[in-house]
Structure 1
Amino acid sequence: MEYLVNEAIEDYAFLNTSEEPPLLQELIDGTNENMGWPQKLSGRLVGRTLKMLSAIHQPERALEIGMFTGYSALSIAEGMPETGKLICCETNPRAIDYAQTFFDRSEHGHKIEVIFGRALDTLETLAEQLDGPLDFTFIDADKRNYLNYYLKVKELTRPGGLIILDNVLWSGKVLQPESDIDDALVETNRLIAADPNMENVFLTVRDGLNVVRKLR
């Protein structure tokens, strides 16, 4: 991921943001050492944002699309009430196994359920697994399907619920889209901003974080 702000400013923001719990710091180190594409980790600025939004919103039913090694899942679960349930969609068996070792050691791990398989398939049957609409969703999977994920999640989300999309700046490529991935992100961002049934704030945190609230 390219830095979209001055690297020194990015480092300053990192150093002046609350640290992750030690278990999450261990997860970061292990992911960097043992997993491919460790840059897929959300990182402290996004992770602590997710934890704070979760703590404020107190979701009972949450969803994550694209879990990787569990950093963002544990960040969200940390802010959830004890009775909350976070369903995570992931297609990488090795990442799931690795994440589960940390879920098993975390006081918040009991809130997390991982579903292996394509998220679009999981979303088709998700309503049957929930005892009500979604309160909180974090989308951070394949960018080509961002619009598909968003539209389905919007349908499953209660009024007042949050939908948070990561990497919505896509290293700045949204300014001059050249690929179908770039186009998918541009269209998703445009649709969100134009929807009178949603309100959002587009944050330039790390690679872009779109925080969306369903109004009705």
Structure 2
Amino acid sequence: MFFLPKDLDDYIVQHSQDEPQILQDLTRETYRKVLQPIMLSGAYQGRVLSMISQLRAPKQVLEIGTFTGYSALCLMEGMPDGSELHTIDINEELEDMAAGYFARFRESENKNITIHQHIGDATTIIPSLQAGFDLVFIDADKPNYVNYYHQVMEKVTSGALIITDNVLWHGKVVKDVKPKDSSTPILLEYNKLLKEDPRLQTVLLSVRDGLTLSRVL
């Protein structure tokens, strides 16, 4: 979804770092083989995630919502040798596809990153993980965002970054909520929680469908 005119959005992409070949290949394969390929982070947002990761150089990363692995690959660009990535998704059918690209990335970049792919309900998996994450990316089912927020806050270190996708939810956050809409009320609550939590410093960025960057104090 474009919140800026498409020609202006295209200009922004053209004047940002180019998308690496591995991500171009993953994008093409996702569009060929997977339903709802628009769930990919995309070139511009991917470069934002990569830049944040490279600035932070996180050693312990948690991603909620693997999909085909695009955003994880972007985050891996900034992860140093010896780091660990835990990525969770409910769809086991995409596990092998993502794993193949993760292996290709580690080989081509000669990076020693341990990757744990978890398949199942994230609300039951997150509590089982050890605390100590210094970067978290949340991009999964919207009705569970508040649940993820509370669980993640138990697992992060001081100075950790929490990045959340789709916080503008196609612009629905500033419109009247429809009676059968179960996602928008949760996102409204979630955005309010991030803003008002004294443990966080939060800024909402108008990147793609809305990307919130929160720093744990």
Normalization by structure 1: what TM-score? 0.94
Q: Which runs of 5+ in 1 are unaligned?
A: none
- Corresponding residue of 1:66: 65
Q: CA deviation at 1:109?
A: 7.8
Structure 1 match to 2:164: 165
Which aligned pairs between 1:125-140 and structure 2 lie closer than 5 A?
125-127=128-130, 132-140=131-139
Partner of 1:121: 124
Q: Which residue of 1 aligns with 2:34?
A: 35
Deviation per CA, 1:44-102, whole angstroms, max 9, x where unpaired?
12111111111111111110000100000011011111111010001111211111111
Shift of 1:120: 0.6
Task: Please give the alpha-carbon distance, in whole angstroms, between the structure 1 residues aligned to 2:8 and 2:153.
Answer: 34
Distance 1:9 1:153 in 2: 35
Paired residues, number:
210
Point out where structure 2 has 5 or more consecutive residues left out of the alignment: none
Query: 1:12 matched to which residue of 2?
Result: 11
TM-score by length of 2: 0.93
Distance 1:150 1:15 in 2: 34
TM-superposed deviation, 1:110 = 4.0
Is the Cα contact below 8 Å between 2:85 and 2:113 reproduced in 1?
A: no
1:205 matched to 2:201: no
Provide the alpha-carbon RMSD of the alignment: 1.2
Letter of the structure 2 residue corresponding to residue 100 of structure 1: A
Q: Displacement of 1:111 after TM fit?
A: 3.3
**Deviation per CA, 1:8-57, whole angstroms, max 9, x where unpaired?**
11111111111121111100111011111100000112111111111111
User: Would you say 1:147 and 2:149 are equivalent positions?
Assistant: no
Cα deviation code 1:112-148 (max 9, x no counterpart): 2201111111112012xxxx51100000000000111
Letter of the structure 1 residue corresponding to residue 21 of structure 2 = P
